[in-house]
Structure 1
């Protein structure tokens, strides 16, 4: 294998891992939001879009 091929393969694996990690994080966040905040109140500013001000 040429060094370029190895570098490309390593970069592809890193991108796949990062994509997987972001998807896992998003899935966990959605599951947490669907369960509710378990009695804790989140500040309203957390859910507002910055352009809404």
Structure 2
């Protein structure tokens, strides 16, 4: 996973496997997550585009 690079992917840096506090570390994404983009009212996405985007993600 560490070597996976693509312009549409947020780069994976590493993980912390401490039992009390496991976490994944990735590069900072200034635009937020996909969920942030989909639920923001300021960003106008019609439902057909949202459906197309989510369908592509599921594949």
Q: Would the TM-score normalized by the shorter structure come out above 0.5?
A: no
When normalised by structure 1's length, the TM-score is: 0.29
Where relative contact order (Cα < 8 A, 6+ residues apart) is larger, the structure is 2
Q: Rg larger in 1 or in 2?
A: 1
Give the structure-2-normalised TM-score.
0.28
